[in-house]
Amino acid sequence: MAGLRCPLLGALLIIIVGVVRCSPKCFPGDQALGKCGESTSEKGTCADNTLGYCDDLPYSKAIFPNLLDHRSRGDVEFSAEYILLSVLDNLLQGECNPDLRLVGCSILAPKCEKNKIVKPCRRVCQALKKSCLPAFEAIDMAWPYFLDCDRFFVGEEEGCHDPLEKLRVNVEITSEDLAPQTPYTLIHFTHHNYNQMVSILKKTAAKCSNIAKTYSIGRSFEGKDLFVIEFSNNPGQHDLLEPEVRYVANMHGNEVVGRELLIYLAQYLCSEYLLGNTRIQTLINTTRIHLLPSMNPDGYERASEEGAGYNGWTNGRMTAQNIDLNRNFPDLTSEVHKIMKVRSARVDHMPIPESYWWGKVAPETKAVMKWMRNVPFVLSGSLHGGELVVTYPYDFSKHPLEEKMFSPTPDDKVFKMLSKTYVASHPKMSDQSTERCGGNFINRGSIINGAEWYSFSGGMPDFSYLHTNCFELTLELGCEKFPTEDELYPAWQDNKESLLSLIEMVHRGIKGVVKDEHGNPIKNARISVKGIRHDITTGEDGDYWRLLIPGVYVITAEAFGYSKVSKKITLPARMMKAGRVDFVLNRVEIKTRKYDKLIPEDIYDRYDPLDSYDPHAQAGQREQGEGDEQSQDREKPWWWSYFSMLGNNKPSWLLKNN
């Protein structure tokens, strides 16, 4: 039996050794995390480096398997890592290349000496990551796992090499190079496609991360994010008594000047703040500014196909659904014209009619309406093209059969003040020549009531005024809707001061906080001005802003279930900032007095899909089941399509949420 046991024991040992030798070196998922590369450092032999995108490395011999366990040149060339290196220059708009490609290649085709891998230096990786990470952030891409400085790179004491040594040859380092860099304003006055626009906005926010932030308010019909960049001393959050301003451009896809101006304005605000421009610092420290350069990115893509200077009057104006966004908002103006003579009728903060939802409402329109509800905007400018004039509400005539009829709001004087402010700082709008673009409006001071110019319903400015607290102007910026690039810098010069001056106007009038007798803020209290039939309401924190021209006013604050309080105030002509008018309201028994305009909120509750609308959902999103993979791909970042040929092996490690 002893003799039998020995052969059996020997056979068992052979089997165990075989199992150990044949066991997988890499558990599922570990290869993508780089946990399998260490075992390859002693294997393979040196061979000529023949990888096309890596043929300019400072060495000629590479080794396989590499640090990612790719066993041959073929494995590398069909890998997600190699494809990423081949497209990075395009994705990052030339930033960080060729440095990024060469450092990546030092991992995919590692340097070989005496049939052993020589790893790249950790300091090179760390310096590269520090300078290039903002470029990845700008396109919502995670830092590639195979460029993990701690995992795949080593220190000098371990005998590393510098994959960028060729780039450092004959470069003299001067004392000026070592001196701290002074911030500067560098704006390229060119047209920007969607990807370029998003990249610039995110890079700007990264450069000024203490005062700027990008966010999406929703998606277009074709799935493009509607990106906003905001500026504030506390980005991402509303501060008590800090007014909020928005600029919206490119709602007509072929009207592109405003789109470019807001991209330039974002870069200007960031750089000038860093440079110590007192005016810009004061503006950002006291105001929350939101810029939406493109409300209709799908339409822009169609308009840009013809190229600048060749675009027709209408091509690309509509969305991908063939919807004119500036005719797609709820028509509240016609209702106001009907009930204006009824003294007790409510003519502000009007609900959206249920019948509106029976029609075709663009996802872009829904996204902007939800944005308006979520942010307590005070002032807005909608940037257009086709004329050179500033228009103000109402845009829809008070007589439905009159196409050109002066139809003022109760705040006509305020709107005129705002419009004149924009014109006063604009050299062409204030030019008295009748031969220029916009010369037809010279006698009106380059401003006009919208309905008096031409009447239309469903516009964004009317909706903004009648549904929210926000006063919105339409800024027509020139007769060329899609001008050539040589006209963009002059357009910036003409409009820069006007854009800044209009933002500053949000600090005119009065502001304050409405609280109860215990110091608790009162939300949705109504602030009325005697003689102006348009109230505004307080926000979540009980704060409010009321734009007014200089004069003497009686201001009243009231809320359902509270006392009514009135104050008489004077706004001097030279007052350059909002006057502070606070109110304290005491709780009262509702039966003790009559409430004229104060209606419990539930009376105005109606069927409103906007409350449950998710602006970030893909339009026409599929049901779970067949086609889920395609649906999920549509939810990925725009650059995900670059890896479509990889099938199920797409680089999920590049997704931030992973």
Q: Which residues are catalytic?
A: 476
Cα(216)–Cα(229) distance, integer angstroms: 9
Phi/psi for 186 (5° steps) reads -125, 105
Q: Please report, in angstroms and rounded to a whole number, the separation of the first and last CA atoms in the chain.
A: 59
| DSSP, res 630 | H
Residues 6+ apart with CB under 8 A from 639: 91, 139, 141
Neighbours of 451 (CB within 10 A): 27
CB 374 within 8 A of CB 431: no
Give CA torsion, residues 607, 608, 611, 613, to 10 deg.
120
Sign of CA dihedral 318, 321, 323, 329: negative
User: Left if phi > 0, otherwise alpha if psi is -120 to 50, otherwise beta: which for 446?
Assistant: left
Residue 390: helix, strand or coil by DSSP? strand
Neighbours of 461 (CB within 10 A): 26
Residue 281, burial from CB neighbour count under 10 angstroms (0-12, 13-18, 19+)? middle
Report the b/e string of 582-606 with b at 16+ CB within 10 A.
bbbbeeeeeeeeeeeebeeeeeeee
CB 50 within 8 A of CB 73: yes
Cα(420)–Cα(572) distance, integer angstroms: 19
- Which two tokens mark 307? 């190229």
- Which two tokens mark 611? 């409350």
List, as one string, the DSSP characters of 228-281.
Answer: EEEE-SSTTSPPTT--EEEEEE-SSTT--HHHHHHHHHHHHHHHHHHHT-HHHH
Q: Which of 200, 210, 40 is nearest to 108 (CA)?
A: 40
| DSSP, res 358 | G
CB 372 within 8 A of CB 468: yes
Cα(549)–Cα(298) distance, integer angstroms: 40
| Cα R_g (the chain), whole angstroms | 31
Cα(345)–Cα(340) distance, integer angstroms: 7
| DSSP, res 578 | P
β-pair partners for 58:
none
Cα(64)–Cα(41) distance, integer angstroms: 9
Number of residues that make up the chain: 658
Cα(183)–Cα(412) distance, integer angstroms: 43
